[in-house]
Amino acid sequence: MFFLHYSFVLDSAILMAMAFDRYVAICSPLRYTTILTPKTIIKIAVGISFRSLCIILPDVFLLTRLPFCRTRIIPHTYCELIGVARLACADISINIWYGFCVPIMTVISDVILIAVSYTLVLCAVFRLPSQEAHQKALGTCGSHVCVILMFYTPAFFSILAHRFGHNVSLTFHIMFANLYIVIPPALNPIVYGVKTKQIRDKVIILFSTKGRE
């Protein structure tokens, strides 16, 4: 359970770091190598890893204080935090509020910073002189924006459904919980692969060869 939720918060922080990378690459291209030095990248990686650890670790300790005297079968395909807490024979209001408020506020802050980053990127892009430069800059960010939407959309629906969707069917909860676990890692290679010219050319050659056969 810890590693699953830790990876979710860490993925959110990685997307924020990637947005900062795109901002520096487009808004300050000549200073890119001086701003994002290997030392700076290591500091960012350590910082977002430690932040994710500090956010999720209390969830584990809040669960260990609960008595579990009923069934130990959870109605999920993985150890979802609130799903495990609801098996307890005690008040889980602290677990629900911490499990909802702290991660959601963290993710919302990441989304706000990503939005600010891309707003500045768009402002810089539309100041570029040529249409070709516009397309190249937007193409650089396009795949990242797709990944952001795929990651956050099902995640937000799942989190909000758990907190407020008391009348929502269990099947709906499980479906959305599975979506935000399965869809982003399944589609990420496709999204980034389509934007990579070498991969795209190989796929075109592969299908054109099969078509001639």
Alpha carbons 198 and 109: distance in angstroms, whole number:
35
Alpha carbons 55 and 76: distance in angstroms, whole number:
23
Q: What is the DSSP letter of 167?
A: T
Ordered per-residue pLDDT tens for the chain, 213 residues: 888 888 888 888 888 898 898 888 888 888 888 988 999 999 999 999 999 899 888 888 888 888 888 777 777 777 877 778 888 888 888 888 887 777 778 888 888 998 898 888 888 877 777 777 667 667 667 777 778 887 887 777 766 766 666 676 777 777 777 777 787 778 777 777 776 777 777 777 777 765 555
Q: What is the pTM for the complete model shown?
A: 0.79
Alpha carbons 77 and 149: distance in angstroms, whole number:
23
Helix (H) or strand (E) holding 92: none
Token readout for 212 is 């001639």
Spell out the domains of the chain, with CATH numbers in brackets.
Answer: 1-210 (1.20.1070.10)
Considering only CA atoms, which of 151, 173, 175 is closest in space to residue 162?
173
Token readout for 54 is 């500090």
170 Cβ neighbours under 8 A, 6+ residues apart? 75
Considering only CA atoms, which of 172, 180, 175, 174 is closest in space to residue 154?
180
Q: Report helix, strand or coil for 154.
A: helix
Question: Over the stretch 3-30, which tens digit does the pLDDT of each residue have?
Answer: 888 888 888 888 889 889 888 888 888 8
Arithmetic mean of pLDDT over the chain: 80
Angle of CA points 88, 94, 97, to nearest 5°: 115
Percent of the chain with pLDDT over 90: 7
Instruction: Give residue 39's pLDDT.
Output: 93
Instruction: Give residue 156's pLDDT.
Output: 74
